[in-house]
Every structure is written in structure tokens, then in C-alpha cells.
Structure 1
Amino acid sequence: MAHEYRDRRRRLPRSVPAKGQTAAEILSAGLALRDLRHAVANRTATRVAWGMYCGTAPTSEPIEDKQPEVSGSQAILQVLTAKGNRAVSHQSAAAIWGFWDRPLEPPYHVTSPPGRAPVQRPGLVVAHRGAIPAEFLQQVGGVVVVSAAWAWCDLALQTSVEEAVVLADQVLSRRIRRPGRRSPLAHREDLEAAVSARGRANGIRTARAALALASDAVDSRPESRLRYRLHEAGLPEPEVNVLISDPSGRLLIRPDLVFRQWKVAVQYEGVDVHSAPERVLQDVRRQEVTEQLGWTEVRITRDHMRNRGRAAVLKVLAALRARGYSG
């Protein structure tokens, strides 16, 4: 009986670690190949990519806010950044931090340091090479990822000034709330440090120009695009999301953009938010209050932003000129 009991214990399959690992790492830790296959067959382990596995145990530090368990993406990135001083970067890092407008999905961007071979997994990884100072590296859910400031600079170096401004506004904003993430994601000095660390990299002028125009008070991407279009057209620089009060000092309204000298308030009316019946009523009341305070309200929609925002620029310019602007 004792011999039979020992034999049965030996055949009991061992669990697969929740954190993503390569098959070689799992087997070298003592798990038998048959146990790994058994775990996959019984859904206590998942093959997340060729040669990569993870268990199904929950983790207390998810890579993204709505992922209570170790996801396929998280397990893959855990494996890819476990060795070789590699880090998740570019669009993938921006998605992890929450300022990219698409979800975290393959192909994943991974940066390897100079002297290290880049990851060779076509279709799964977009490989980059570059030195990343230690102060710009963090761990999130067992994944090594560049900071939000470094990820912004990654993207700013390869895009237009407008797109870089939109992304910088997202990173710097004190008003955008992301569950599980601090607000703001970074401060202006963090972005300045990231730009400085890049030296004379291609695209550095774009990053510097975008940072000079960035704001930490935006609510949304369309607001950032509208502000950039007005800047591009040579209009005066507006204040962003500041409160306007009555003569007694009572705070009443917060326009998206404010041209205080000419008492022109600009509001971007997003379809998703401002088309709800109760919001329409609020917007009408807001315009009434704005006019009672002696201001002009300019309402901009998605249609005004077509053709590089030409209609939006003309509408705001007309309101400013009606108030005495001579530009």
C-alpha cells in the first residue's frame, strides 16, 4: 500500500506558475513535459505564444485595469522582458499606461539595449534597439515597461507635431482619470528629461516643438486637436479649461478654451457626450450663463474639424474679430 501511495503522488501533475515563462524555464524548474501538456489540456495553463505558457492563477497587479487575471498579453510580455534588460516601449507601453487610443495587442513593441540581440518573433514583436536610462524603467504586473514620459518620447520622435501634442496632453493632463493609474501620468519635467536623454535623435525637433505646445489641463483628444489647429492658424494662445466667474467671484462655467482678452469661450461638443438629452439641456443652460456674463460662446463639433479644422478656425476667428481682435 505504501508503495502504491508513493507512486500515485509521483504522478500528480504540478501546477504551472501564473507568471509567463518559456517552456524551457518551466521544464528546468522541475515540471515534467507531460504535466505541462496535462495542464494545458485541463485549462490550468495556457499556451500564450509559441514556447510561452502561463498558469491561470490570478495576479494582484494586473498590467491593465480591466484584467483581473494574467492575460495572454501580460504573460507574453513577462517572458519577453524577463531577461536581457529588455522593456516594452512605444505604442505597447502607451497602451499599458492608458494614453494610446488602441488596446494592448500584438505585435508588441520591445526595446533591447545596445549589444543585445533584438527579439526575433515576426508577427508577435516589433523589435527596437536603444539605451534606456534606469530612471525611465518601471515594473507593472511583472512586466518591464518604459515610463509614460519615455513612451511619449518614443512616439513623438516618429510622428507629426500635432499627434505629439495630443499624446503629450494625454500624459500631462491633471483632469483625465484612469482607474489604477496616477494622474497625471508624468510631469512636464519628466518629458523634458526624456527629450534631453535622446540627444540629437531623428525627430527630436518634433518632440521639442510638441512639448512647448502641450497643456496639462485638457479633457480630451479633440480639444487638443482643436487647440493645435487654432495655433497653426496663428490665433492667440487660449487658456485651457479655466473657470470663469461672475463679478462677485462665484465660479460658474469652465470652457474648453478661453480667450479672456476678447471674452470668447470655445466649447468642443463631442457627439458621444453632448448628444444625450440631459446633456443638451445642460449645454443650453451653459450658453445662457456664458452670455449673461458678457461672453460669446463658440460651439465646435466634429464637422467643423474636417479639412484640418478650417471651419473651426474660421468660426473662432469670426467670434474674436466681432469682439475687437484685429489679427
Structure 2
Amino acid sequence: MEHEQHQEIFQASIFTVAEARAAGLTGYRLRHGRLTTPTRGIRIWDGVTPPWFETLRAYSGLDGEHYLSHTTAAQVWGIWLPIWLTSESPIHITGRKGATAARRRPDVVGHRAALDPRDVVEVDGMRLTTPARTWLDLAPLLRDPFDLVAAGDALLQRADGPPRPEGVLGTNPLSTLREIDAVLGRRPAVKGIRTAREARGMLRAGVDSAPESRMRSVILAAGLPDPVVNQEVQLPDGRVKRPDLHYLQWRIALQYEGEGHADRVQLNKDIHRDDAFAANDWITVRAGHYLYTAAGERDFLGRLRRAIAQQSRRFG
């Protein structure tokens, strides 16, 4: 058995000294010439680049009460982040205030904070903050408040929606609005709490993607009515469609056309979808990547307001 444990440790590309000692390895063997020490307490085979998740498990397993957090935890959970925050380095680790965690290490950003037991979890060999707590920790880091809404919506995606990113932890939905509210209540004075509370009012369950969140955030920020999110609509001719957003009273469907919609099969589906709406006196208002610019927002809102005015005259 001991030999098998030795073999398992030495087959791993990265492991902690504590794991090695628990498996019965001596200090002499831990000074093997092919083992390198990226940071105290961890060993890596020379010339090997460990997979990121294995690296996270090793750092998470270091002695002390600390947890993967912030953008690192967000990527582990598959929470949407803007591209400029999706780097694997540095690793964010939060230690409990008063504990000997979150120490300074190469390629690590250490944080100290109050950690309620309800805000941390151990999954798949990793200790990390819960999705709801992770979202709150993102509030000071996201420059655009609409991005915080998109990250929050990612916690609330429907179970039967698009597949999650490959390799991430958890299943949809990752959290609930009640759990998010509970985390906000436990952290009333934390940095970014005001931004998080404002974003919380714009979160909605069932959003399929960050661009859809962006579209809805632009609408709400402009003072327009809250559209329905990703619900099926039965048209008068019996056909059933699921627009990204819609206003049933005005028969307006709102669609975000991302890069995937340029695919021939998807393009044909989009054409048939829009034809079905048009045949039943609906108007489709589309948005694209330009929605991430001020000029794009104005253009989209102008078209939406004209559609509302036109359909209001028709249907009241």
C-alpha cells in the first residue's frame, strides 16, 4: 500500500510536501534532483508544466485556512468574466482574518477577509469560495457595472440551457438569488458592496449568455420596462419560440446575434425564427457586439424605442 502511495505521488506533476510526507516519502526523497520548488510546500517535476487545475489543487492543499477566491474561483466555477480577467496567473487565495493563510508567494495574490463557513466549500479536492461569495468578491475588480450583472446572471443560468464550459465545477444554476442576498447580508461593509447591491437589482434567472445580460442591462439602465428573459412564446399560429428577451404586450422579440449566428445552420434557424415572429405581427429587434460601445447602445435603444412606439399604436 505504501509503495502504491509513493507511486501515486511521484506520478503527479505537482503535489504538496504534506501529501508526500503523508504518503511516507522522506525528506531525502523530496530533495530529488528532478524536483523543483515553485513555492514553499510544493514540488513540481523539473521541466513539467502542470495542468492549471492540478496546480490549484496543490495550492489549495497547502497548510493553513485559505481558499481559492476572486477571479481564480470564478474560472473554476465557470462564472463569466471579461477577457482581461481570465488569466490563469496570478492565483487568488483568501485566508481567514487572524489565521496564518494568504501568505505572500510568487504568482499568488493573497487576501485576508472574514470567511463565514457558509461562504466556502471543498469540491473535487479544492477549497474555494462559493459561487455567490465569489461574485461579491468580483465587485471591486469589474470596471463595468454591466459586467458584474453578467457575472451574476451566470450563477443563475437555467438547468436546461446551453452547456457549461468544459472542465469547470458545478451545474446550472450555480446559485440562487436567496443565496446571493444572504452573502450580501453577511458582508454589509465590504469594498464594492454598493456596486454589488445595485447589480443585484438587475440580476435575473434564466439568462443564457453574457451578451444577453448586456442587452437587458442596457435596456434597464435606459429606464425602459423589464423584458421577459428566455421564456417560450406561443404565437397565434401555434408555433412556439424562445427569444432571448421579449415584451409580450407589444409583441417585440429581442435577439443578440453573436459570432455563432454566422454559422449556416444557425443562420437558417434565425431566419425561420424571425419569419415566424413577423408572420404573427411581432417585431424583432436585434443587437450585436456593437452593443458594447456607447454609439451601439444609442443605436439599439433608438430602434427599440421606435419598435415600442409602433407596437403600442397597434396593440395598446
TM-score category of the 2 structures, normalised to the smaller one: 0.7 to 0.9
State the partner residue of 2:72. Answer: 92
Q: Equivalent residue for 2:278?
A: 291
Residue 306 of structure 1: which of 269, 273, 293 is its match? Answer: 293
Q: Which residue in 2 is equivalent to 1:221?
A: 210
- Aligned partners of 1:96, 1:48: CA distance in 2, in Å? 24
Taking a change above 3 Å as real, the CA distance of residues 296 and 115 of structure 1, as seen in their structure-2 partners, is same
Q: CA deviation at 1:209?
A: 1.6
Report the counterpart of residue 151 of structure 2 in structure 1. 167
Q: Quick check: 28-37 or 84-93, which moved more?
A: 28-37
Equivalent residue, structure 2, for 1:111: 94
State the one-letter code of the partner of 1:115: G
Structure 2 counterpart of 1:236, one-letter code: P
- Counterpart in the other structure of 2:130: 147
Alignment coverage as a number of residue pairs: 292
SS at match of 1:261: coil
If you compute each CA radius of gyration, which structure gives the higher value, 1 or 2? 1
SS in 2 for 1:262: coil
Matched residue type, 2:308: L
**Residue 211 of structure 1, CA deviation:** 1.3
Shift of 1:265: 0.7
Shift, 1:24, TM fit: 6.8
Q: Identity over the aligned pairs, expressed in percent? A: 30
- Alignment match of 1:278 (pick from 265, 268, 272): 265
Q: Report matched runs for 1:243-258 at 5 Å.
A: 243-247=232-236, 250-258=238-246
Partner of 2:191: helix, strand, or coil?
coil
Within 2, Cα distance between the matches of 1:97 and 1:232? 28
Closer, same or farther: CA 106–304 of 1 in aligned 2, 3 Å: closer
1:197 corresponds to: 186
Q: Displacement of 1:75 after TM fit?
A: 3.6
- Cα gap change, 1:237 to 1:294, in 2 (>3 Å): same
Deviations 1:91-150 (A, max 9, x none): 111011001436561211111111124433354111111111112211122221111111
CA contact under 8 A between 2:261 and 2:267: conserved in structure 1? yes
Alignment RMSD (CA, Å): 2.8
Shift in CA distance, 156/310, structure 1 to aligned 2, threshold 3 Å = same
Structure 1 position 201, deviation (Å) = 2.0
| Deviations, residues 171-202 of structure 1 (Å, cap 9, x unaligned) | 11112432562110111111111111102223
In the superposition, the TM-score normalised over structure 1's length comes to 0.79
For residues 18 and 233 of structure 2, the distance between their equivalents in structure 1, rounded to whole angstroms, comes to 63
TM value normalised by structure 2: 0.82
5 Å matches for 1:1-327?
14-15=6-7, 17=9, 18=12, 21-23=15-17, 26=20, 30-36=24-30, 38=32, 41=34, 47=36, 49-51=38-40, 52-53=42-43, 71-101=51-81, 105-159=88-142, 160-174=144-158, 175-178=161-164, 181-247=170-236, 250-271=238-259, 273-307=260-294, 309-324=297-312
Distance 1:224 1:48, change over 3 A: farther
SS in structure 2 of the partner of residue 297 of structure 1? strand
Change (3 A) 1:49 1:129: same
User: Secondary structure of the equivalent of 1:120?
Assistant: coil
Gaps of 5+ in 2: none
1:78 and 1:144 in contact (8 A); partners too? no
